[in-house]
Amino acid sequence: METDGRVRSDTVSGRIRSLVRFLTPIVRSLAGVAVIAVAVIALLGWSGLRMYAQSAAGREVVVARVVGVIDPAVSQYVDRVVTAAERRGAEALIIVLDTPGGLDVSMREIVHRLLGAPLPVIVMVGPSGARAASAGTFIVLASDVAVMAPGTTMGAAHPVAVEGGMVIPIDPVMMEKVTNDAVGYIRGLAIQRGRNADWAERAVRESMVLGSSDALRAGVVELVASDLEDALGQLDGRRVSGPWGDRPLRTRGAVKVEISPSLAELTLAIVAQPAVAYLLCLVGLVLIGSEVFAATGGPAGLVGTICLVLALVGFNSLPVEKGAVAVIGLGVSLLVAELKAGGHGMVAVGGVMAIALGSWWLFPDSGPTIGGVPARLDPLIMVGAVGFLAVSTGLVVGKAIGTVRRPAQTAMPLPGETGFVITALAPGGTVSVRGEAWSGRAIAGTMESGQAIRVTDRRGLTLIVEPLATGAELGSAVPRSE
């Protein structure tokens, strides 16, 4: 039994190491790309890609563009441009907004930053055809001055539950709670900024939507402007008040300083997606585990570490259960232990169950939300990832168990095994035993090619042989041609 276990473990290790040798050049290439990407993000990302209009002197207006879903990357971007605008002593910050909505937690972070901004913040829904739906409505109402371009809309802020990108039903009691919470929040913003609080409530309760001209008449926004230049012209001389005091805006002829999202923020926009962060976590743990199981000199471990770090960055921006990450790590460790120790599959079953449990627990109901309602990870992604790990491990373990059922053989032929002479032994030559060619030496005299022989001993890698005595033995040893 001990010999069988050793043979099975060696066979599995050999298969895995062969696969690792095949993948090593590919992994090294990926590792190089990943290292370069991380270096670029570190060197350029946090400073941002900025496009500055050249001017020797004059007033500045900082411009930021928010396009797409409101997520942690957008929240980080808005926080950075507010800080940059303050440091530059800008006259105002203008956020050009076009969004279908997004995560509740990110929206509230942006609103909090705008309410406490040390300079006037203007939010413009634009260009024509843009919208400020759901979370975008809250952001518009939090601005010091709200502007809309012709042909734009805002509203439809009723909470919805999202799972895997699809709207799903929710318990009526829970829906009433999150709706009332959103109503109280949006009314407070509208009242604080002197806007139509009744319409704001209807935008949440009834998903009302207004176009630019209707929003202006309803007292939801202050201006309708065809483009950014038109907005700057209309804003000039308008009095605003806030932490900076009460003063008129001086925006006509101001230099526009546009700050784009940094590489780090663009990266965060990707890794902060629940599905991406989850898959990066699994891939990172599996690659690190493979490095522990069959050392490749670093590439698998390096790429795995980068994937895991990116996953943790994403998790840091998404409320997750830290215990669930630990359970997933335990599950992957059990899978690696199964492959390394060469068990009978029970440890692997426990590992798959742990990964499945951790995956289900990773994003709880108190996790990322849209309009106050949880945005859950698509179950198909969880089932696919866990199923792939289960099937892959099962195939390797199955091959190992199949190996155990085959009789073990020693590396060298044993005394008593038979074969035939390939090249004449005089007294040395070549013989065939087990269908393999070996150096042979006659125990006495010479032997002709094709003569049947029996192994009597060995010296190093040379077999000591003698001729077979009977014709029956000769017939069993020498291959016959059909």
The domains of the chain are located at 2-43+265-404, 50-261, 418-477
Q: Which CATH class is domain 418-477?
A: mainly beta
Q: What residues have CB less than 8 Å from 145, skipping those under 6 apart?
A: 120, 121, 122, 123, 222, 223, 235, 238, 240
The arrangement of secondary structure in 50-261, i.e. its CATH architecture, is Alpha-Beta Complex (3.90)
Q: What is the mean pLDDT of residues 87-96?
A: 95
Asked if 216 contacts 224 with a C-beta cutoff of 8 angstroms, the reply is: yes
Q: What is the mean pLDDT of the chain?
A: 79
Is residue 477's pLDDT more than 70?
Answer: no
Choose between 363 and 328: higher pLDDT.
Answer: 328
In whole angstroms, give the CA distance from residue 88 to residue 84.
Answer: 6
Strands 255-259 vs 369-370: parallel, antiparallel or unpaired: unpaired
Count H helices and E strands in the chain, helices first: 15, 21
Of residues 418 and 475, more confidently modeled: 418
Which pLDDT value is given to residue 165? Answer: 46
pLDDT value of residue 75: 92
Q: What is the mean pLDDT of residues 370-394?
A: 70
Quick one: which of 159, 226, 154 has its CA closest to 190? 154
301 touches 24 (CB < 8 A): no
Q: What are phi and psi of 453, to 5 degrees?
A: -135, 165
Token pair of 429 as six digits: 């030559």
Q: According to the model, what pLDDT value does residue 43 have?
A: 46
Q: How confident is the model over 137-165, as a mean pLDDT?
A: 85
Q: Are 128 and 152 in contact (CB under 8 A)?
A: yes
Per-residue pLDDT for 360 more than 80? yes
pLDDT-derived band at 81 (thresholds 50, 70, 90) equals very high
Question: For 97-150, how does the pLDDT look when each residue is reduced to its tens digit (9 = 90+)?
Answer: 999 988 888 899 999 999 999 999 999 999 999 999 999 999 999 999 999 999
pLDDT of residue 448: 87
CB 370 within 8 A of CB 162: yes
185-189, 339-343, 404-408, 473-477: segment of lowest average pLDDT: 473-477
The burial class, CB within 10 Å (0-12 / 13-18 / 19+), for 341 is exposed
Mean pLDDT (whole number) for 10-23: 49
Please give the biggest Cα pair distance in the chain. 118
Q: Is 204's pLDDT higher than 90?
A: yes
At residue 446, the pLDDT reads: 85
Cβ(150)–Cβ(167) below 8 Å: no
The proportion of the chain whose per-residue pLDDT surpasses 90, expressed as a percent, equals 32
Q: Which residue has the higher pLDDT, 170 or 86?
A: 86
| Residue-wise DSSP of 297-353 | SSHHHHHHHHHHHHHHHHHHHS---HHHHHHHHHHHHHHHHHHHHT--SHHHHHHHH
Convert the pLDDT of each residue in 261-295 to its tens digit.
988 888 888 887 888 888 898 888 888 877 776 65
- Which of residues 240 and 336 earns the better pLDDT score? 240
The confidence score (pLDDT) of residue 186 equals 95
pLDDT band with cut points at 50, 70 and 90 for residue 55: very low
* Alpha-carbon span 35 to 27, nearest angstrom: 12
pLDDT of 475 > 50? The answer is no
- pLDDT of 221 reads 96
In this structure, what is the dihedral angle of CA atoms 66, 170, 174, 112, given to the nearest 10 degrees?
A: 0
At 293-311, the pLDDT tens digits run 665 556 777 888 888 888 8
pLDDT at 322: 81
Could you report the per-residue pLDDT of 18-50, keeping only the tens digit for each? Answer: 544 544 554 454 445 454 444 444 444 444 434
Per residue in 421-433, pLDDT (tens digit) is 998 888 888 999 9
Give the confidence band of 351 by pLDDT, cuts at 50, 70, 90: confident
Question: Please, are residues 182 and 129 in contact by the beta-carbon 8 Å criterion?
Answer: no
Q: Does the pTM exceed 0.75?
A: no
